[in-house]
Amino acid sequence: MAKELELYIHIPFCVSKCRYCDFLSAPADEEERERYVESLCSRIRSCKEFAKDWHVSSIFVGGGTPSLLTGEQMGYIFRDIRETFRVDDMAEITVEMNPGTVSEEKLKAYREAGINRLSIGLQSANDQELKCLGRIHTYEMFVHSYQMARDCGFSNINVDLMSAIPFQTPESYEKTLRTVAELVPPPEHISAYSLIIEEGTPFYERYGEGKHAEELPAEEEEREMYVRTKEVLEEYGYIRYEISNYARSGFACRHNLGYWNRTQYLGIGTGASSLIGNKRWREGEEPEILTEKEEMEEFMFLGLRKMEGVSETDFRNVFQKEMQEVYGLILQKMKEEGLMEQAGDNWRLTERGIDISNYVMSEFLF
């Protein structure tokens, strides 16, 4: 019987590098992008033998900025995916895109290739905040791209938002939340992340190790933004199903849920990661063999990101051990501290536990 597999396809190109970005991406000319697509398609076709044992439930094309690819190039990629893998009829197929990088012709070609979900990197509805981040678009450009995607038939769209941006205030962030939630029609999904200052980025050079802290929202302001995200989006009918992700009923991202549930996935493209069985690797590197303890750790700290938490039955089915046998003392401690609760078969974070989730999850590391 074929096993479930998720595919991740990495496109490492962007127009220009954002100041906060530490992802594997860089600008490239048309010739370089064409060579990469040819190599990527060859790599996809080389999976023919491997693919016989699997059925693909979701495909996620990330980057970089995958929407820099032409409709024809995206068509080649999906032609070879479908000729190589058994893709479910109802598979969720997502492509990340940035405002200003698509046309009506390109979006129609993406639809023809079978893409049924878009993830648009907006980050903020405030043009000054976008400029500060090093984004190449304005809010007006986002609205144009968003409406064009709707006109081309996309009925499942995520919008990425960011809080704790330099010079951002709780008021400007809430205005972004409400502006996006009031789009007509509203997005089916909103991802709301807090800015992380990563080493090796221009933002780290400016803000790393506490430098220029006065330009960043104060800790209490960042906390207010975090709390208001849930409160505001719930007003508009969004359900929080994971720490940073909100969706209208029926539109939780299946690919992301698969990652948090440790569904096996194959990454294709420069730097893409894979998890098959107990082996994890990045494209071009030797696999790392995960121990049972490492797999159990991942089961817990990834699963606890979901609002529904982790299931004792699922733990038993995967590891042939009882969750209480392995983590009983920690679960009891978290419950006594008011950070976790039991709901039937599931253990999940409380509201207080969500607030300090990094601490809770660290408790499950051996």
DSSP letters for 301-324: HHHTTBTT-EEHHHHHHHHSS-HH
Per-residue confidence band for 155, with pLDDT thresholds at 50, 70 and 90:
very high
Which helix H or strand E contains 241, and what residues bound it? strand 239-242
List, in sequence order, every residue forming a beta bridge with 6; answer none if it has no partner: 58, 265
The alpha carbon dihedral of 319, 320, 323, 326 has a sign of negative
List, in sequence order, every residue forming a beta bridge with 271; answer none if it has no partner: none
Mind listing the pLDDT tens digit for each residue in 196-225? 999 999 888 999 888 998 999 999 999 999
Show Cβ contacts of residue 160 under 8 Å, excluding neighbours closer than 6 positions: 119, 120, 121, 122, 123, 191, 193
Q: Is 331 helix (H, G, I), strand (E, B) or coil?
A: helix
CATH code that applies to domain 292-366: 1.10.10
Q: What are phi and psi of 256, to 5 degrees?
A: -65, -40
Please choose, from the candidates 283, 239, 328, 222, the residue with its C-alpha nearest in 3D space to the C-alpha of residue 8. Answer: 283
Please choose, from the candidates 1, 4, 2, 115, the residue with its C-alpha nearest in 3D space to the C-alpha of residue 60. Answer: 115
Amino acid occupying residue 103: S
Mind listing the pLDDT tens digit for each residue in 74-127? 999 999 999 999 999 999 999 999 999 999 999 999 999 999 999 999 999 999
Which helix H or strand E contains 172, and what residues bound it? helix 170-181
Give residue 149's pLDDT: 98
Mind listing the pLDDT tens digit for each residue in 263-307? 999 999 998 999 999 999 999 899 999 999 999 999 999 999 999
CATH superfamily of 3-259: Aldolase class I (3.20.20.70)
Q: Residue 301 corresponds to which tokens in the numbers above?
A: 């700290």
CATH 1.10.10 residue ranges of the chain are: 292-366
Where are the extended beta strands (E) located within the chain? Answer: 3-11, 54-63, 86-97, 117-123, 157-163, 189-194, 239-242, 245-247, 265-268, 273-276, 279-282, 288-289, 310-311, 340-343, 346-349
CATH 3.20.20.70 residue ranges of the chain are: 3-259
- Mean pLDDT score of the chain: 96
pTM of the model: 0.95
Per-residue confidence band for 237, with pLDDT thresholds at 50, 70 and 90:
very high
